[in-house]
């Protein structure tokens, strides 16, 4: 195993500035999957579970969603919420039981609500309730993607080390080109954030600057 004294952030930018692998690239048509941008994870200062990497993240996500809608491409939002019994959290909900615990994001609670800054089209966007890290796990996301004949998945939300990474792995495993705009994902700690951006960029996805995604979308009809 290689060892280093560099931080995860330093390693990420080293890999970013010296790419050693070919990109997967964009395909012909994309889906935007916004993972769990809900108050439990976005209201920094209100909830201990919330985090922020780029303060303009919600703004960027809104802009992406508008561009997708203008192309008549699918926009998906996921969130998590659980029963009072927490039985639908399964074994994932057994490690802790505090007000901050995952399984205590209850239905109809403020923690389960989407961030107020988001501009969600409740008629035309697709909203999925998920229980586990991947947006693919036991949701209809795969069927939606087949229906829309997409070949590219663009991921936003959080956390980078959790649900973003898990969804990216599942996306690649299903044969999709997977794009992660770095300004649009966030995590609790920069070490987790940058370590997983590095790992995804080396293995599972193209981690790119948001401008590159905007430029590609502007070329689509």
The residues carrying an active-site annotation are 163
CB–CB of 135/33 below 8 Å?
yes
Report the distance separating Cα 37 and Cα 30, nearest Å.
20
Torsion angle, alpha carbons of 93, 94, 100, 102, to 10: -10
3-class SS of residue 97: coil
Put residue 110 in one of left, alpha, beta given phi > 0 → left and psi -120 to 50 → alpha: alpha
Torsion angle, alpha carbons of 81, 108, 78, 195, to 10: -60
CB–CB of 133/163 below 8 Å?
yes
């Amino acid at each position: 195993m290689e060892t280093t004294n560099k931080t995860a952030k330093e390693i990420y930018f080293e890999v970013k500035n010296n790419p050693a692998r070919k990109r997967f690239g964009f395909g012909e048509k994309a889906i935007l999957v916004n993972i769990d941008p809900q108050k439990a994870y976005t209201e920094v200062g209100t909830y201990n579970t919330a985090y922020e990497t780029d303060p303009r993240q919600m703004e960027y996500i809104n802009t992406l969603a508008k561009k997708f809608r203008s192309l008549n491409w699918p926009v998906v939002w996921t969130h998590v919420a659980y029963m009072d019994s927490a039985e639908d959290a399964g074994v994932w909900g057994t490690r802790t039981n505090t007000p901050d615990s995952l399984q205590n994001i209850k239905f109809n609670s403020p923690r389960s609500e989407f961030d107020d800054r988001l501009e969600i089209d409740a008629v035309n966007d697709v909203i999925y309730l998920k229980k586990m890290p991947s947006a693919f796990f036991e949701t209809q996301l795969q069927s939606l993607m087949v229906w829309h004949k997409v070949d590219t998945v663009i991921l936003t939300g959080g956390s980078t080390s959790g649900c973003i990474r898990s969804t990216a792995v599942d996306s690649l495993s299903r044969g999709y080109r997977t794009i992660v705009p770095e300004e649009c994902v966030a995590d609790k700690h920069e070490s987790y954030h940058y370590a997983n951006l590095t790992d995804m960029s080396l293995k599972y996805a193209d981690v790119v600057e948001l401008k590159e995604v905007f430029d590609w979308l502007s070329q689509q009809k």
